């Protein structure tokens, strides 16, 4: 039997740039509540009028406790992570169930990148659809300028910066990606993971994980849960064309991988040579998570469209061309898994 990886390597990934519409910036409506102390956030052209702006497209968010809290829990404090990433903030929310404070991360939309949240949110939705654990929960939340002004009271430099750079919509809100610090839908989702970053190339940890993944049978001393995390990372990055990931965050205590920086997923164009790097890590994998094949079969193009590009154009997270590329890579990955199953049986291959 030919190496099924050959089918994967023939893919020439190409994507259509998700067009960014440019519009003249209108004056903010009179009824928009300004930031306190006469600080007004600069208006950016809205994606829709206040009356017609589409609702948030969250998938069963109310049924998921972590995402429900991220979407609805009151914000009690916000602080800048660093001026190297001026839109990213550490936040504290007041959880309702169970009551108490919890940390979160918040990415505000800025005029320079008003839809920067799209790729990260699309990556999280893909992981969720495939039942993968390595990506923390995330939601798109709309925060009023008045609420932001109160949160930044006493932080004049930040208030001044946001007055010039926050991407305010006609309804007086700013789009924000809210995501949990940890993984899962239990208490661990609200715990900041301790640990360190692991480079995927030329690091002892990653080489060990790759050796485990290439072994048809459990390798002596392997950690099955950690191995599943590593394979999930390879699969997600390949499907999303995330060729710029250089490292992952490794939680030393939980022995788990966290994919926290996903802004480069679903790029408008993928260099085939860069994609070959992802393929070189994925081809040797001999074992996969138990439910992956079934989840990939369910993620056909219609399902992917519902997941990532449903509703009005303004709510799309990825372009139609990107959906085509995602589907091609999905089929190629299914070919690889099917070939492994034909060689060794489903129980041996889908065993993580």
Q: Give the lowest-confidence range in 183-187, 202-206, 232-236.
A: 183-187
pLDDT of 3 reads: 43
3-state per-residue secondary structure call for 11-29? CCCCCCCCCCCCCCCCCCC
Q: Is pLDDT above 60 for 8?
A: no
pLDDT of 165 reads: 94
pLDDT of 126 reads: 97
Task: List, for residues 271-284, the tens digit of each pLDDT value.
Answer: 999 999 999 999 99
E-strand stretches of 97-206: 99-108, 138-144, 173-179, 196-199
Q: Is pLDDT above 80 for 57?
A: no
What pTM does this model have?
0.83
Give the mean model confidence (pLDDT) for residues 322-350: 96
* Count of alpha carbons within 13 angstroms of residue 77, beta-carbon side: 8
Q: Is pLDDT above 70 for 51?
A: no
Give the list of residues 6+ apart from residue 221 with CB closer than 8 angstroms, or none: none
Give the mean model confidence (pLDDT) for residues 13-42: 33
Q: Is pLDDT above 90 for 329?
A: yes
Q: Is pLDDT above 70 for 12?
A: no
pLDDT of 183 reads: 93
Give the mean model confidence (pLDDT) for residues 61-84: 90
Give the mean model confidence (pLDDT) for residues 166-170: 93
Q: At what angle do helices 117-129 and 224-239 cross, to 10 degrees?
A: 130
pLDDT of 59 reads: 56
Task: List, for residues 98-151, the tens digit of each pLDDT value.
Answer: 899 999 999 999 999 999 899 999 999 999 999 999 999 999 999 999 999 999
User: Across all residues in the chain, what is the average pLDDT?
Assistant: 84
What residues form DSSP beta bridges with 350? 288
Q: Is pLDDT above 90 for 311?
A: no
Query: Residue 185, SS3?
Result: coil
pLDDT of 60 reads: 65
pLDDT of 38 reads: 31
pLDDT of 54 reads: 46
Give the mean model confidence (pLDDT) for residues 12-18: 27
pLDDT of 154 reads: 87
pLDDT of 98 reads: 83
Give the mean model confidence (pLDDT) for residues 81-107: 92
pLDDT of 84 reads: 87
Sheet of 99-108, strand order:
75-80, 88-96, 99-108, 173-179, 138-144
Sheet of 247-251, strand order:
196-199, 247-251, 256-258
């Amino acid at each position: 039997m030919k190496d099924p990886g050959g089918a994967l390597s023939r893919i020439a990934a190409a994507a259509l740039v998700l067009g960014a519409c440019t519009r003249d910036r209108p004056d903010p409506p009179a009824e928009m509540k300004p930031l306190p102390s006469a600080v007004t956030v600069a208006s950016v052209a809205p994606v829709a009028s206040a009356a017609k702006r589409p609702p948030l497209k969250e998938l069963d968010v109310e049924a998921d406790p972590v995402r429900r809290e991220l979407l609805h829990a009151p914000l009690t404090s916000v602080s800048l992570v660093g001026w190297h990433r001026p839109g990213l903030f550490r936040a504290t929310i007041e959880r309702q169930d169970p009551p108490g404070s919890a940390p979160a991360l918040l990415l505000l939309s800025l005029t320079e990148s008003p839809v920067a949240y799209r790729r990260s949110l699309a990556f999280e939705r893909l992981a969720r659809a495939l039942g993968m654990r390595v990506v923390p929960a995330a939601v798109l939340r709309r925060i009023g300028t008045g609420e932001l002004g109160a949160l930044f009271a006493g932080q004049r430099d930040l208030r001044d910066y946001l007055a010039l750079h926050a991407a305010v919509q006609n309804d007086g809100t700013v789009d924000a990606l809210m995501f949990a610090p940890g993984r899962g839908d239990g208490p661990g989702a609200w715990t900041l993971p301790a640990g360190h970053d692991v480079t995927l190339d030329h690091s002892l940890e990653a080489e060990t994980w790759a050796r485990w993944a290439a072994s048809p049978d459990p390798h002596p001393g392997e950690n099955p849960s950690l191995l599943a995390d590593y394979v999930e990372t390879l699969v997600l990055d390949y499907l999303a064309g995330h060729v710029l990931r250089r490292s992952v965050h490794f939680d030393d205590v939980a022995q788990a991988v966290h994919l926290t920086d996903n802004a480069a997923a679903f790029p408008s164009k993928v260099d085939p040579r860069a994609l070959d790097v992802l393929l070189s890590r994925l081809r040797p994998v001999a074992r996969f998570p138990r439910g992956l094949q079934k989840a990939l079969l369910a993620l056909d193009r219609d399902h992917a469209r519902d997941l990532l590009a449903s509703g009005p154009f303004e709510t799309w997270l990825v372009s139609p061309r990107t959906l085509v590329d995602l589907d091609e890579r999905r089929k190629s990955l299914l070919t690889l898994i099917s070939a492994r199953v034909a060689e060794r049986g489903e129980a041996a291959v889908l065993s993580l």
